[in-house]
Amino acid sequence: MTRASRIERLDYLKDQLRNRVVILDGAMGTNIQKFRLEEEDYRGECFADAARYPNDLKNNNDLLVLTRPEIILDIHRRFLDTGRADILETCTFGATSIGQHDYFWHRPEEGRRKDQEYFQEVVDAPELKALVRDLNMAASALARQACDEAEASDGKPRLVAGSIGPMPVTCSLSPDVNDPGFRAVNFRQLRQAYRDQVLALLEGGVDMLLVETIFDTLNAKAALFAIEEIFEEQPEAAVPVMVSVTLTDKAGRTLSGQTIEAFWNSIRHVRPFSVGINCALGPDLMRSFAEELSGLADCYVSIYANAGLPNPLSPTGYDLLPEDMARFMKEYASLGLLNIVGGCCGTTPEHIGAIAAAMEGEPPRIPASQEPALRLSGYEAYNHTREKNTLFVGERCNVAGSPKFARLIREGNYEEAVSIARQQVENGAVVLDFCFDDGLIDGPEAMVRFLNLVSAEPDIARVPFMVDSSKWEVLEAGLQCMQGKGIVNSISLKEGEEEFLKKAALIKKYGAAAVVMAFDEQGQASNYGDRVRIAKRAYDLLVERVQFPPEDIIFDPNVLTVGTGIAEHANYALDFFKAAGW
């Protein structure tokens, strides 16, 4: 029998999603633990040389695809057989250079601070790049083998999702309590590490990519940026992308502070195949957040919860038995919350099989529809609609507009400068603008330092940020520090169409809105006709050439001085209002 091609498998999946709830597999780590493996199992022949690999490798489950592949294959087969899964995840949760660095790069006796210089060495290390490729290729092959075997037995295609787990470091939080502006790793390094993993998964033949267990949205944005970058370079390699966040407490926030709607606003620009919630919580505590996400997402929704809390007295090691998980997930399905369902920590093939049986006859969720709106986020979501009328932007953190702020930044007094941001939020600012365009200030460095500091303050970071500069390198430095969906201020046609479109495409890829100035190659628009002509031209280019969301375009039709006494300036105010109305 000839197995289905990737296109045929994806067509089959989409057809199934129209008619039923699709089944994802369960916990890989939980099922590996049952084999009670020792250090030598993880080393195998590949890593037996203790002189070359001096660190302990036990519990590095990703290595088992090379050293004990029969165990991983057995787990895959049981999820397909007993679990009745439609989608298998690869055993690659930590198979990145940064994910593997503690095992293969870091030497405890070195005593080095793990900083951006350290992690640049990690992502550049040829031996780690080779390991990442080997792990992801081998894992993809094992999952594909199990799926092909199942398809050969009953003719039903199964799909392989390349698992892309979180990093052991975060771009949004400082690991040093004494230095809230410090970041061990930066966006570019995360993007590079994720890129190496994604390229290997795609080469290995996965049907989909699953960016999962997201605790820091900025980390996830680096992964999604890398994925989009690869798809642009290799259109033939493009596959559906699933995204799944983890909420670390009963308040429903990520570890990096975002609510579920703020998270969705931050990543919806990639138009994922599915968005979901997994890990951290059991299905009892996850339901209200699943209901919220289900009402927001215009794509498929996936839920794969833990089997409750760890419980050494339970037969499965977790509170919830298969029949318990099945009962909870049937409630989810009856409420119309599910398109894809599986299990996370503590779930076995028996759990997944019970959930699959409970899904029989249950209709799939219908994706939500949303009216177009400017949907921004910091720690919390802010959706700007016509009914809200004015959007208040705090502009006191601007060296060109606030002499006090400029002095504090030049003096390096960032602590007091941060207090200016706080005051603006307390006084009603909905968005905060940050600008460091000054000849005596290193713009990119100041932007990164300040954004890292305000991002560590929940009372400030709850609102969206606007990065403001006439220099692209400053704007991009800011974009790489924002886990939420912010605004770029600004771009224009001043340097021509090619540069305008290039920057717009990058802003879209970073997931931000944009202020568009009424400038073109001839200069600044000053009358009504020029404002309208430039705005229309910019709009058409953005929407038709870049597919930039219209609701994310903010026009600045140029407020010009009206009290000069010069005759040709007399209509400036009237022309501005007419253009704004148009």
3-state secondary structure of 312: coil
Choose one of 358, 384, 399: the last residue of a domain: 358
Q: Give dist(CA 437, CA 447) in Å, integer.
A: 10
Residue 146 near residue 100 (C-beta atoms within 8 A)? no
Q: Average of pLDDT values for 290-296?
A: 97
Specify whether 108 is located in the same domain as 229. yes
User: Helix H segments across 492-571?
Assistant: 497-510, 528-540
Q: Average of pLDDT values for 246-251?
A: 90
- Could you write out the DSSP letters of every residue in 50-106? TTT--S--TT-GGGHHHH-HHHHHHHHHHHHHTS--SEEE-S-TT-SHHHHHHHHT-
Radius of gyration (Cα) for the chain, nearest Å?
26
Does residue 1 lie in a domain region? Answer: no
Specify whether 339 is located in the same domain as 408. no
Q: Residue 54 above 60 pLDDT? A: yes
Total domain count for the chain?
2
Contacts of 331 (CB under 8 A, 6+ apart): 287
What confidence score (pLDDT) does residue 563 get?
83
- The model's pLDDT over 415-430, given as tens digits with 9 standing for 90+, comes to 999 999 999 999 999 9
Q: Give dist(CA 248, CA 254) in Å, integer.
A: 6
Q: Using CA atoms of 171, 175, 179, 182 in order, give the dihedral in degrees to the nearest 10.
A: -30
Task: Report the range of poorest mean pLDDT among 189-193, 558-562, 578-582.
Answer: 558-562
- Could you write out the DSSP letters of every residue in 167-227? -SS-SSS-S-TT-TT--SS-HHHHHHHHHHHHHHHHHHT-SEEEEEEES-HHHHHHHHHHH
Residue 509 near residue 550 (C-beta atoms within 8 A)? no
Choose one of 358, 392, 410: the last residue of a domain: 358
| Burial letters 66-105, b for 16+ CB under 10 A, else e | bbbbebbbebbbbbbebbbbbbbbbbbbbbbbbbbbbbbb
Does residue 400 lie in a domain region? Answer: yes
Specify whether 340 is located in the same domain as 385. no
Crossing angle of helices 187-204 and 97-104, in 10° steps, is 100
What confidence score (pLDDT) does residue 313 get?
84
Q: Using CA atoms of 212, 217, 219, 220 in order, give the dihedral in degrees to the nearest 10.
A: 40
For residue 160, give the nearest of 355, 305, 10, 277 by alpha carbon: 10
What confidence score (pLDDT) does residue 108 get?
60
Please, how many CA atoms are within 13 Å of residue 358, restricted to the half-sphere of its CB?
22
When pLDDT is cut at 50, 70 and 90, the band that residue 317 belongs to is confident
**Beta strand pairing call for 519-520 and 523-524:** antiparallel
- The model's pLDDT over 467-484, given as tens digits with 9 standing for 90+, comes to 999 999 999 999 999 999
Q: Is the link from the previous residue into 455 a cis peptide, with omega within 30 of 0?
A: no
Does residue 309 lie in a domain region? Answer: yes
Q: Residue 110 above 70 pLDDT? A: no
Please, how many CA atoms are within 13 Å of residue 291, restricted to the half-sphere of its CB?
10
Does residue 525 lie in a domain region? Answer: yes
> Which domain CATH number covers 254?
3.20.20.330
Mean pLDDT of the chain: 95
Q: Residue 90 above 80 pLDDT? A: yes
3-state secondary structure of 19: helix
**Beta strand pairing call for 22-23 and 340-343:** parallel
Specify whether 105 is located in the same domain as 167. yes
Residue 514 near residue 504 (C-beta atoms within 8 A)? yes
Specify whether 494 is located in the same domain as 420. yes
Does residue 368 lie in a domain region? Answer: no
Domain residue limits at 102: 6-358
- The model's pLDDT over 350-376, given as tens digits with 9 standing for 90+, comes to 999 999 999 999 999 999 998 999 999
Does residue 76 lie in a domain region? Answer: yes
* CA-based end-to-end distance of the chain: 62
DSSP secondary structure letter of residue 552 = G
Does residue 28 lie in a domain region? Answer: yes
Distances 98 to 46, 78, 103 between C-alpha atoms, Å: 20, 30, 10
3-state secondary structure of 421: helix
Residue 43 near residue 240 (C-beta atoms within 8 A)? no
Q: Which amino acid is at 348?
A: T
What confidence score (pLDDT) does residue 389 get?
86
Q: Average of pLDDT values for 58-65?
A: 97
Q: Identify each DSSP E strand in 369-528 by its residue range.
A: 374-377, 381-384, 393-398, 431-435, 465-468, 487-491, 513-517, 519-520, 523-524
DSSP secondary structure letter of residue 109 = G
Specify whether 161 is located in the same domain as 279. yes
What confidence score (pLDDT) does residue 370 get?
87
- The model's pLDDT over 199-218, given as tens digits with 9 standing for 90+, comes to 999 999 999 999 999 999 99
Q: Which amino acid is at 32?
A: I
What confidence score (pLDDT) does residue 386 get?
86
Specify whether 555 is located in the same domain as 520. yes
The tokens describing 236, both together, are 């033939």
- The model's pLDDT over 500-530, given as tens digits with 9 standing for 90+, comes to 999 999 999 999 999 999 999 999 999 999 9
When pLDDT is cut at 50, 70 and 90, the band that residue 1 belongs to is very low
Element holding 164 (H helix, E strand): strand 159-164
Look up the pTM and report it. 0.96
Above pLDDT 90, what percent of the chain?
A: 91
- The model's pLDDT over 424-461, given as tens digits with 9 standing for 90+, comes to 999 999 999 999 999 889 999 999 999 999 999 999 99
The tokens describing 184, both together, are 């061990």
Specify whether 267 is located in the same domain as 177. yes
> Which domain CATH number covers 380?
3.20.20.20
Choose one of 332, 358, 384: the last residue of a domain: 358
Specify whether 322 is located in the same domain as 379. no
Specify whether 312 is located in the same domain as 415. no
DSSP secondary structure letter of residue 515 = E
Q: Give dist(CA 117, CA 351) in Å, integer.
A: 44
For residue 163, give the nearest of 141, 131, 139, 142 by alpha carbon: 139
Angle at 565 between CA 561 and CA 567, to 5 degrees: 95
Q: Average of pLDDT values for 79-93?
A: 97
Does residue 394 lie in a domain region? Answer: yes
Residue 230 near residue 295 (C-beta atoms within 8 A)? no
Q: Give dist(CA 358, CA 61) in Å, integer.
A: 30
Specify whether 323 is located in the same domain as 394. no
Specify whether 88 is located in the same domain as 122. yes
Q: Using CA atoms of 182, 183, 188, 193 in order, give the dihedral in degrees to the nearest 10.
A: 160
